[in-house]
């Protein structure tokens, strides 16, 4: 793809991608829009309504709209992996997978076949080309920055991608949409699983997973309740445990601290600051560095940077140590609350997103409590 020629916008039917399309048109580009359907199975899916919104946007902006159905690809490359992680007792992040496997692979290649010069999306992120490489940067709006979800996109795709909203805040995007009279200017931002939407989560998973109920235990090992199956819970979870108001315990919320896979037990503790909820070490694998691994790691040395273990978290100082192949150990200067296996640790140097890795395990290691990054 090149800078000139046809620009294609991934148009979800929301305000962000609509303003991205508008920005490109106002910059003088020829713009077509692509609307994906990736899920179409039940009443919670809003694909039909989103497509109608996409049509309204394209009619107003006088842009052609291409509708494509990637539901088979989504199930095979995102949803099946999502279920596999849950079966392992992990907490997967389908938004990361969707970006890597669908938007910036399947959709990108579809845009290329249409003759697209660039593929644009409504992500709040930026790209920098000043060092001879395409670097992924945080969006300027710290509250909306989505570089975390983009960390595993291959650089070969980032070379031909545009993020028109990277310099804007969400409030500025809303203002632009209102001034242009876009029909989605007040549309609520989407939530829930990528392309599946917001829905009752346990009943949804039960349609696809077989699981074994088991005991909920306190930190002393005493059974205080029953869980419906370990795949339905995540580390740090508070809601839906069904163990409030227990006799012999002080009032206060309970949180999931551990999943004991071997004994099919859920370990819970009281209070969001309980020590068992905090870890300062994690092991991660399937590492992806956008522009190659740091030279320190290539030399078998420790690399110092910052990291996030979840979307929206402030940067956390850490040390990264290579293990074997794509495996890493990460030590945090400050203990982190509720590190969940299956999620991603994403690495940063200031505004530069370096890449990330999938979390496999985490614990508190006393010998690293005093280290300073």
17 lies in the same domain as 103:
yes
What is the arithmetic mean of pLDDT over 44-71? Answer: 91
Task: Identify the CATH number of the domain in which residue 311 sits.
Answer: 2.40.30.10
Q: Please determine, for residue 3, whether its predicted confidence score (pLDDT) is greater than 70.
A: no
Q: How far is CA 227 from the centre of its chain?
A: 27
Buried b (16+ CB within 10 A) or exposed e, 10-26: bbbbbbbbbbbbbbbbe
Most confidently modeled range among 4-8, 31-35, 299-303:
31-35
pLDDT, residue 176, reads 98
Q: Please determine, for residue 371, whether its predicted confidence score (pLDDT) is greater than 70.
A: no
Q: Which of 13, 12, 19, 9 is nearest to 176 (CA)?
A: 19
Q: Please determine, for residue 134, whether its predicted confidence score (pLDDT) is greater than 70.
A: yes
Q: Please determine, for residue 372, whether its predicted confidence score (pLDDT) is greater than 80.
A: no
pLDDT, residue 370, reads 56
pLDDT grade, residue 1 (50/70/90)? Answer: very low
Query: Count of domains in the chain?
Result: 3
Q: Please determine, for residue 102, whether its predicted confidence score (pLDDT) is greater than 60.
A: yes
Handedness of CA 148, 153, 158, 162 (dihedral sign): negative
**Tens digits of residue pLDDT in 270-326:** 999 999 999 999 999 999 999 999 999 999 999 999 999 999 999 999 999 998 877
Instruction: Look at strands 31-37 and 65-69 and give their pairing.
Output: parallel
Q: Please determine, for residue 367, whether its predicted confidence score (pLDDT) is greater than 80.
A: no
**Tens digits of residue pLDDT in 192-232:** 555 555 667 778 888 888 889 999 999 999 999 999 999 99
What is the arithmetic mean of pLDDT over 232-241? Answer: 93
Query: What are the tokens at 171?
Result: 């409030």
Rounded CA Rg of the chain: 22
249 lies in the same domain as 304:
no
174 lies in the same domain as 120:
yes
Q: Please determine, for residue 146, whether its predicted confidence score (pLDDT) is greater than 60.
A: yes
Cβ-defined contacts of 55-61 (< 8 Å, 24+): 56/183, 56/184, 57/11, 57/13, 57/18, 57/21, 57/33, 57/182, 57/183, 57/184, 58/11, 58/33, 60/181, 60/182, 60/183, 61/21, 61/22, 61/25, 61/31
pLDDT grade, residue 130 (50/70/90)? Answer: confident
**Average pLDDT over the chain, rounded to an integer:** 92
236 lies in the same domain as 168:
no
Q: Which of 63, 145, 70, 81 is nearest to 103 (CA)?
A: 70
pLDDT grade, residue 2 (50/70/90)? Answer: very low
Task: Identify the CATH number of the domain in which residue 219 sits.
Answer: 2.30.30.280
14 lies in the same domain as 131:
yes
pLDDT, residue 373, reads 57
Q: Please determine, for residue 252, whether its predicted confidence score (pLDDT) is greater than 90.
A: no
Euclidean distance between CA atoms 190 and 199, whole angstroms: 12
* C-beta neighbour count of 197 within 10 angstroms: 17
Calculate ∠ Cα 261-262-263, nearest 5°. Answer: 95
Calculate ∠ Cα 272-274-277, nearest 5°. Answer: 80
What is the arithmetic mean of pLDDT over 23-41? Answer: 92
Calculate ∠ Cα 162-164-166, nearest 5°. Answer: 100
Write the DSSP assignment of 113-182 as a string of letters.
Answer: HTT-SEEE---SEEEE-TTSS-EEEE-S-TTT--HHHHTTS-HHHHTTEE-TTTT--HHHHHHHHHHHT-
Contact 67, 55 (CB under 8 A): no
Active site residues: 98, 194
Longest dimension (CA), the chain: 70
Euclidean distance between CA atoms 33 and 51, whole angstroms: 11
What is the arithmetic mean of pLDDT over 154-167? Answer: 96
pLDDT, residue 43, reads 58
pLDDT grade, residue 245 (50/70/90)? Answer: confident
Residue that finishes a domain, picked among 130, 160, 180: 180
47 lies in the same domain as 167:
yes
Residue 258 backbone dihedrals phi, psi, to 5 degrees: -150, 155
Q: Which of 200, 199, 240, 232 is nearest to 213 (CA)?
A: 232
Residue that finishes a domain, picked among 247, 272, 297: 272
Residue 198 lies in a domain: no
pLDDT, residue 179, reads 97
160 lies in the same domain as 24:
yes
313 lies in the same domain as 170:
no
Please indicate whether residue 210 or residue 86 has the higher confidence score (pLDDT): 86
237 lies in the same domain as 96:
no
Structural domain range at position 159: 7-180
């Amino acid at each position: 793809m090149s800078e000139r020629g046809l620009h294609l916008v991934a148009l979800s039917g929301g305000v962000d991608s609509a303003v991205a399309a508008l920005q490109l048109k106002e910059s003088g580009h020829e713009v077509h829009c692509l609307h994906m359907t990736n899920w179409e199975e039940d009443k919670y899916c809003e694909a039909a309504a989103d497509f109608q919104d996409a049509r309204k946007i394209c009619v107003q902006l006088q842009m052609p709209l291409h509708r494509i159905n990637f539901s088979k690809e989504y199930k095979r490359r995102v949803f099946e992996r999502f279920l596999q992680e849950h079966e392992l007792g992990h907490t997967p992040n389908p938004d990361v997978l969707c970006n890597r496997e669908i938007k910036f692979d399947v959709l990108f290649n579809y845009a290329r076949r249409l003759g697209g010069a660039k593929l644009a999306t409504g992500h709040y992120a930026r790209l920098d080309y000043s060092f001879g490489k395409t670097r992924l940067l945080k969006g300027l709006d710290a509250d909306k920055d989505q570089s975390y979800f983009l960390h595993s996109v291959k650089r070969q795709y980032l070379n031909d991608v545009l993020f028109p909203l990277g310099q804007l805040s969400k409030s500025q995007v809303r203002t632009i949409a209102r001034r242009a009279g876009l029909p989605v200017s007040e549309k609520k931002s989407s939530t829930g699983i990528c392309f599946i939407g917001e829905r009752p989560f346990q009943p949804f998973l039960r349609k696809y997973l077989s699981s074994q109920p088991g005991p909920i235990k306190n930190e002393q090992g005493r059974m205080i309740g029953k869980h419906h199956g370990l795949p339905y819970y995540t580390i740090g979870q508070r809601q839906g445990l069904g163990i409030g108001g227990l006799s012999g315990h002080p009032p206060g919320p309970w949180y999931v601290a551990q999943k004991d896979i071997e004994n099919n037990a859920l370990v819970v503790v009281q209070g969001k600051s309980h020590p068992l909820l905090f870890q300062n070490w994690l092991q991660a694998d399937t590492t992806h560095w956008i522009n190659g691994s740091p030279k320190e790691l290539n030399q078998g040395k420790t690399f110092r940077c910052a990291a996030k273990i979840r979307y929206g978290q402030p940067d956390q100082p850490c040390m990264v140590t290579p293990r074997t192949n794509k495996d890493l150990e990460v030590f945090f200067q400050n203990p982190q609350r509720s590190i969940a296996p299956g999620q991603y640790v994403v690495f940063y140097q200031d505004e530069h997103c370096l890449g990330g890795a999938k979390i496999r395990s985490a614990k508190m290691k006393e010998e690293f409590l005093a280290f300073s990054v």
